[in-house]
Amino acid sequence: MALFRCAPSRNFTYFHNHKYGNCYTFNSGLQESSPTTKFPGPAYGLILELFINQGEYVANLAPEAGARVVIHKKGSIPFPEDEGIDVMPGRATSIGIKQHSFARLPPPHGECGDTPKTTDYYVKHLGTSLSKLSCLKSCYQDIIIEYCNCAVPFFFLVENVTVCNLTDPLDEVCVDMLPVMAQERYKLCDQLCPQPCQETRYETSISQAVWPSNKYDVKTLTLTDASSFFFCFRSQEFTKIQIYFQDLIYQHVEQQIGYESMSLISDLGGQLGLWLGLSAITIGEFFSFLCSIGRSLPS
């Protein structure tokens, strides 16, 4: 087991989220380093000690204290506002993960697709892998731009498009009423954004313990004052996260064609041959029977 101070510029990729602000992705696939693990268990995963710094929270915009953790596939875009785990200060949170991969069939046997019928701005501009959620958010943004002539900040901001001013009554009413006015268009997005044919998901198991203990010395680069005041309030300002594989065995679910067209043709040919053969034999036996009757009749 090796413990070291991680380098944010080398191990983490920064991105901004409209709800959670500054977010960082570990092992995003966009950097040179690509950490791997060969063993399961907490000792061989990612261990983080985070300084929450509640003093910089903005009133009314951050009702909860802590951090948000999203476990997602390497190369994909996370959406912490829609998925993820809340981690509270004063706790050590262990997150064990198991990998599940899915292989779906494209039409006509299935409904998956690797090319959406609408523009996925996250894939186009950020180079992330395709996901149904990113496609849906891009499709919703297109609808808002079409009807309201502006873009909302909680979806991908398209270049050269004005951001909606939600303090303006006209923009606010347009955005709020759009799901009702363009209900059919929103339903169409689900058809334009199929499930990807290859997908990876992670099942999580979560446990928590009080952290830090009274005797544990929290080391931080942010605060250097080891005063009694700091140690009294450290349970409100720090949290620990452990993310690890519970085992290195993963589950693979694959759709397969139950009955192919060639199998149908083969079965039809076999059945046709069988019945034609039986018919020919029956006809031959019938004529043979007639002949035998004819020979037995007196002349």
* Residue pointed to by tokens 């496609």: 135
Asked if pLDDT for residue 107 goes beyond 60, the answer is: yes
Asked if pLDDT for residue 265 goes beyond 90, the answer is: no
Calpha distance 284→293 (Å, rounded):
14
Cis peptide bond upstream of 108, omega within 30 = yes
Q: What is the pLDDT of residues 216-252, one digit of tens each?
A: 766 554 444 444 455 556 678 889 999 999 988 889 9
Asked if pLDDT for residue 179 goes beyond 60, the answer is: yes
pLDDT at 135: 92
Domain edges within the chain: 11-110+199-266, 114-194
Question: What is the three-class DSSP state of 292?
Answer: helix
Q: What is the mean pLDDT of residues 97-105?
A: 93
Beta strand 238-245 with 91-103 is parallel
Asked if pLDDT for residue 95 goes beyond 90, the answer is: yes
Architecture of the domain made up of 11-110+199-266: Sandwich (2.60)
Instruction: Give CA separation, 103 vs 108, 117, 201, 221, 233, in Å.
Output: 15, 20, 12, 44, 49
Q: What is the mean pLDDT of residues 55-61?
A: 80
* 3-state helix/strand/coil string of 210-245: ECCCCCCCCCCCCCCCCCHHHHHCHHHHEEEEEEEE
Percentage, residues of the chain above pLDDT 90: 27
pLDDT at 20: 87
In the numeric block, which tokens belong to residue 298? 């007196």
Q: How many CB atoms lie within 10 A of CB 16?
A: 9
In the numeric block, which tokens belong to residue 119? 């523009």
Pick the closest to residue 171 from 144, 210, 206 (CA basis).
144
Calpha distance 141→152 (Å, rounded):
7
pLDDT at 68: 93
pTM (2 d.p.) = 0.76
| Residue 7 pLDDT class (50, 70, 90 cuts) | low
180-218 as b/e, with b when 16 or more CB fall inside 10 Å?
A: eebeebbeebeebbbebbebbebeeeeeeeebbeeeeeb
Calpha distance 112→193 (Å, rounded):
9
What is the CB-side half-sphere exposure of residue 54 using CA atoms within 13 A? Answer: 15
Mean residue pLDDT of the chain comes to: 81
